[in-house]
Structures are given as C-alpha cells and as structure tokens.
Amino acid sequence: MRKQIIVGNWKMFKTNEQGVQFIKNVEAKLKANPNMIVGVAAPTVMLSDLTKVAKNIKIAAQNCYFEKEGAFTGETSIPMLQAINVNYVVIGHSERRDIFGECDQMINSKVKALVAANFTPILCCGESLEIYEAKKTMAHVAEQLTQDLAGVTAEQMSQVVIAYEPIWAIGTGKVATPEIAQEICQGIRQHIAKLYNQAVANEVLIQYGGSVKPENIKDILSQPDIDGALVGGASLIEDSYLGLVQ
C-alpha cells in the first residue's frame, strides 16, 4: 500500500525564528503516523535550523541547483543540503517555471542529480488556465513529465514524488474538484506506466496541490490515485497545518 505524503510549501514567508518556533510547536502536538510522511518545504536560509528541531517533520528545500559546486551565484547545491540533513527538494514548482524561467531541461537535470544523490524530488507539474480551458491538461502534464523524468531509471522512480498542481488553483481559492484532480492524477499514473511499467506506476506517490485546506483535504485524499497534498497558504498557520496532517 502506498503511504500518504503531505508537505507544506512555505514559499517566501516567515523569518528563521518564526520557522523554528512553528516546527517546535507543531512537533509537540504531532502524532507520528507510520503511514504518512509529513513535511515542510522552507526557505533556504532556515533549513539548517529547522532540521535541528524537526523530529517527525521532513524538512524540504524549495529548489536546488544540479551542479555540485562552482560559480553559480545565489544557488544551493545538493551536497550543501545533504550536509544539513535535508533530502527532499521541491522541483519545478510553477512559480519557479513562470517567474524564474525554469525550463523542463533544467528541471530534468535537477531531478537526475537529486535521485543520483538519493534525494526525493517532489516534482511539480500542472497546467495554466488557458490550457485547462482548452482541455489540453493531460497532454501538457504528460509532456512535462516525459521531459522532466528523461534518464531517470525505473529503480530511481521509487524516490520520486509527483505533485500535480493546476496553476489556476494555486493561491486562488479555486480548488480543482476532487474528481478533476483524480482524473489527472490517474492520467499521470497511466503515463508513468507508459514511461516505465505498471509496477512503478502503482508505487509512485502523487500529490495534488492548489488551494488545499483542512476543510477539503479529506475529499481530495479519498481519491484512489491521490496520495497526498502540497499545500501553500494553509500550511503557514500551525493549527491549519495540524488540521491538514491529522
């Protein structure tokens, strides 16, 4: 049986002090569940301190670069993250793609470097409102995944988490209905079966993201092909985060 995975994406919110306090407070109330992975993807500056106070919460980075070191001003390498015990990284979030111009080729290099280092990439995919309205979501998402996963072996796929996030549902309050989210997540699983095989597809964890809240997470997680959620806004407040993961 697949585990569930719920990860908060703090984006560019909170100071280091606020982040540390949040993790301490939530850890004190969190009941560990062996069938659920819970995490927080935090800004780079606080990752080191957060890993020191986190027990059950996995601390994830929101981005990284694929080269080990070098003249890459402003970037964070995988060995740097490894040295502070971070081994989950959100890759290819739509904000990275749209605001910072990350292309599928770059995302693919990052995913390959992460799995080679035994990290778990949380690989984001999803369509714009225009693509959604043109009913081309599945073709778009399949193409993203084909490119982003090129060269990743079937064996390495056991480390990869896929997050389906329709861009029109992110931070907008417009959540995809559980049925729409299920349809696309099922399509993603079928596409993974085509790229690899049915066994890999059956194992891969697929999250939905986009305006997930404590009030709607149950319906979303009850869908057969949705194994978790990547949550922005609703992961920033302690009670709300606890409401998502418990």
Please identify, using beta-carbon distances, which residue of 43 and 201 lies nearer to ligand PGA.
Answer: 43
The pair of structure tokens assigned to 81 is 């993250």
Token representation of residue 26: 């939530």
Residue with tokens 């569940």: 33
Residue 161 within binding range of ligand PGA, rule CB under 6 A: no
Closest CB to ligand PGA among 97 and 189? Answer: 97
Q: CB within 8 A of 198, min separation 6: which ones?
A: none
233 is in an annotated binding site: yes
Q: Is residue 43 at the binding interface for ligand PGA, with CB under 6 A as the rule?
A: no
- CB nearer to ligand PGA: give 9 or 108: 9
Q: Which residues contact 232 (CB under 8 A, 6 or more apart)?
A: 8, 9, 10, 11, 170, 171, 209
Residue of this chain nearest to ligand PGA (CB atom): 232
* Residues in binding contact with ligand PGA, number by CB under 6 A: 13
Contact between 221 and ligand PGA by CB under 6 A: the answer reads no
What is the rounded radius of gyration, in angstroms, for the C-alpha atoms of the chain? 17
Options 45-53, 130-138, 184-192, 227-235: segment touching ligand PGA (CB under 6 A) = 227-235
Residue 9 interacts with ligand PGA (CB under 6 A)? yes
Task: Tell me the window of 77-85, 180-188, 199-207, 226-234 that interacts with ligand PGA (CB under 6 A).
Answer: 226-234
10: which 2 tokens? 């703090």
26: three-class secondary structure by DSSP: helix
> Binding ligand PGA by CB under 6 A: which of 115, 230, 244, 245?
230
> For the stretch 171-185, what's the b/e string if a residue is b when 16 or more beta carbons lie within 10 angstroms of its beta carbon?
eeeebbebebbbbbb
Binding residues vs ligand PGA (CB under 6 A): 9, 165, 170-171, 209-212, 230-234
